[in-house]
Amino acid sequence: MKHLFASLLAASAMLAPAHAAAPADFYKGRTVFVIVGFTPGGGYDLYARLLAQHLGKHIPGNPAVVPQNMPGAGSLKAVNYLYSVAPKDGTVIGTFGREQIVAPLFGQAHFDATKLSWLGSITKEVSVCVSWYTSPIKSWNDVMTKQFTAGGSGAGADPDNFSKLYKNVFGAKIKLAVGFPGTSDITLAMQRGEVQGLCGFSWSTVKSHYGSWLRDKKINVLIQAGTARRPDLPDVPLASELAKTAEQRQILDLLLATQITARPFTAPPGIPADRKAILRAAFDETMKDPAFLAGAKKLELEVDPVKGAEVDAIVASLYATPKDVVAKAVRALTN
């Protein structure tokens, strides 16, 4: 009898983890938090809040999904939280500046992006430099000949990286004013005349959040950075077209790769494999959800999704970049 009882206990112990890991049982009645690495109101925040509205219905057990803003250091604070502090049980996911994916390569952060549990990216992106209409800077030629004061939000952030890139690779006369928590804060400073504009500004955010500026000609679009020239920006120069040397093209290729993973979402490293699969599947299903797509259309947010496995491959490729190319990029992003 004692032997039988011990055998039953052992069998129960073996079965318990499998039962506890059942997706519907785990997520039912729980809350999934979406960490947003920026202040409310910007593009990353809009995408995160839209995702949070629809993701839960595609997760077994239909948990509540709640966005939480965690700004700081150009969204590096949020990355560090996801990587080192957040529960690794599938109840926390997050989004942050796409540039943070390569920040460790440039010595700007201390995490391994290949270990994050990538869910995917909602869309691809083109980043632009813009100036306010009262500024004397009206075109890219002006940036090359006159001082352009651009706002920045911290080492490794897109506004800082692109400003330094254009200054150090192309010789643009950009003066970087740092210390803003996010792009929404920089745009306020731009309207107040504290800065003349900003670089690394997501074109999708410009269209969705600041469309009236385009219609009323409140901003000048100076340059675009992406894998190809946008059809709706036919007369704005493409950064890669300005590269004149192999070294310039190598540096640009490294930085522009993250434009493919423009609105990334990830869970912490080491979450249970079945929950990672559930979250990835839920993300993919949300990207096809008619209600999600209708919400994106209403907000004028572009949806051109990249799956989690594709993000894995892009990140792995970036982290395999030859060290001499990385060193050149580091020099370009310094000072």
Residue 176 binned pLDDT confidence (cut-offs 50, 70, 90): very high
Tens of pLDDT, residues 85-94: 999 999 999 9
Backbone angles phi, psi at 31, to 5 degrees: -120, 130
Of 237, 270, 227, nearest to 82 (Cα)?
Answer: 270
How large is the average pLDDT for residues 34-56?
95
- Looking up tokens 């952060």 gives 109
Tens of pLDDT, residues 102-122: 999 988 899 999 999 999 999
Measuring CA to CA, how many Å separate 281 from each of 86, 97, 215? Answer: 21, 23, 39
- Fold match, 26-124+261-322 / 127-258: yes
Can you give the pTM of this predicted structure? 0.77
Residue 5 binned pLDDT confidence (cut-offs 50, 70, 90): very low
How large is the average pLDDT for residues 240-252?
89
Give the number of other Cβ atoms within 10 Å of residue 187's Cβ: 26
pLDDT of residue 23: 67
pLDDT of residue 16: 39
Which CATH architecture best describes the domain 127-258?
Answer: 3-Layer(aba) Sandwich (3.40)
Residue 295 binned pLDDT confidence (cut-offs 50, 70, 90): very high
Residue 142 has pLDDT above 90, yes or no: yes
CB–CB of 253/160 below 8 Å?
A: no
How large is the average pLDDT for residues 52-76?
96
How large is the average pLDDT for residues 176-197?
94
Residue 1 has pLDDT above 50, yes or no: no
pLDDT of residue 256: 85
Q: Name, in order, each residue with C-beta under 8 angstroms of 295's C-beta and a sequence gap of 6 or more.
A: 50, 53, 54
The residue ranges of every structural domain in the chain are: 26-124+261-322, 127-258
pLDDT of residue 107: 87
**Checking DSSP bridges between strand 31-36 and strand 148-151, what pairing results, if any?**
unpaired
Query: Which fold is adopted by the domain 26-124+261-322?
Result: D-Maltodextrin-Binding Protein; domain 2 (3.40.190)
